[in-house]
Structure 1
Amino acid sequence: MSAEKTKSDANQSSDRSSENTKRQFDNAVLEPVRAYGVLTTDYFEKLFSVQFDSVRAFADKNLAQSRSWLEVKDSDSFRQVIEQQQQAVRELSEQMKEDADRIQALSQDYLKETQQLTSESMQSGSKQLEENMQKGKAQVESHFQKGKEEMSDAQQKSQRQADNSKKSASTSDK
């Protein structure tokens, strides 16, 4: 009966330990990796959106300029196309500056959030390590105390057997 109870207790302890290890792994590794993946995916989605918008605006402006050259028929229309082209270059320059500012802001936000995520992960890992150290210390102390008690019980049992042997020996001598 005692061996079955010990085996059952050991299985339950092993199950709890396995579940605890899985939870710690999830918290220490999977959750930060998942959060970093979401953060990176969102960043690239926004970055590509800015880049695609920029390329679209550039292409639209260039196509419009190409079409306006097809309408040149005289010196006045030629002058208008040149003015439009100069205006288009100014607009594209402004657009490129705005896009660069947006990309810089996105990158700064991404960097800040990545640093925050890293900091939180480090704090969580440090806390988990401290908890594991405390649990390990408590287990060592518990096992030490249990071993001490078992040793004391064994010594008492041995002493009783020795005393019983002496009594038996002294009784048989009489």
Structure 2
Amino acid sequence: MSNATIDQATQQFESMFFGPARAYAALSIDYAEKLLNTQYEAVKAYSDVSMSQARAMLDIKDAEGLRTYVEGQQKVAKELSERVKGDAEKVVALNQDFVQKGQKLAEENIQTASKAASKAAK
């Protein structure tokens, strides 16, 4: 086998297998990193709210303090539900972006493979 044949085979493997595999792995790692960061931020926010509410509960010393705490719970519940909704929307957007980029990558790989196959057939 000549060096030219080996180089051509290497280029075909690169364009048809290794390149697309690396591109998909990079896309997957970027997605995982964004998803983990989003989840980390959400858990941190939920933990902060929980700790804040626990501390507020410790400050209850009388009926007025209890009334104030209970009234504050409605505000906290509303803010928390809005946060959950926003976090869910972020995850959905990340998923949609990943799917779109994955489809685009697959289409590009199919085109590249088709060109390589027709070139090899000639």
What range describes the TM-score normalised by the shorter chain of this pair? over 0.9
The Cα shift of 1:15 comes to 1.0
Deviation at 1:85, TM superposition (A): 1.6
Of 97, 101, 126, 2:85 maps to: 97
Where does residue 3 of structure 1 map in the other structure? none
Within-5 A mapping of 1:106-121: 106-121=94-109
SS in 2 for 1:44: helix
State whether structure 2 residue 23 is matched by structure 1 residue 41.
Answer: no
AA matched with 1:126: S
Pairing 1:19–2:7 present? yes
2:21 and 2:73 map into 1 onto residues whose CA distance is 49
> What does the per-residue CA deviation read over 1:34-93, in whole Å, with 9 as the maximum and x for residues that have no partner?
110110000010001111111111010011001111111111110111112221111111
Partner Cα distance (1:46, 1:78) in 2: 40
- Give identity over the alignment, percent: 35
Match of 1:68 among 56, 77, 88: 56
Q: 2:67, 2:38 → 1: CA distance?
A: 33
**Mind listing any 5+ residue stretches in structure 1 that lack a counterpart?**
1-10, 135-174
What root-mean-square deviation, in Å, do the aligned CA atoms of Structure 1 and Structure 2 show?
A: 0.9
TM-score normalised by the chain length of structure 2: 0.97
Residue type matched to 2:68 in 1? Q
Relative contact order: is structure 1 or structure 2 higher (C-alpha 8 Å, sep ≥ 6)?
2
Flag the structure with larger Rg.
1
5 Å-filtered alignment, 1:89-168, equals 89-134=77-122
**Structure 1 counterpart of 2:15, which letter?**
N
CA separation in 2, counterparts of 1:85 and 1:55? 19
Question: Where do 5+ consecutive residues of structure 2 fail to align?
Answer: none
**1:151 match:** none
Structure-2 residue corresponding to 1:31: 19
1:84 aligns with 2:72: yes
Which residue type is aligned with residue 11 of structure 2?
Answer: R
> Separation in 1 of the partners of 2:38 and 2:67?
33
Give the whole-Å Cα distance in 2 for the aligned partners of 1:54 and 1:15.
55
Following TM superposition, the consecutive aligned residue runs of length 4 or more in structure 1 with deviations greater than 2 angstroms are none
Counterpart residue identity of residue 76, structure 1: E
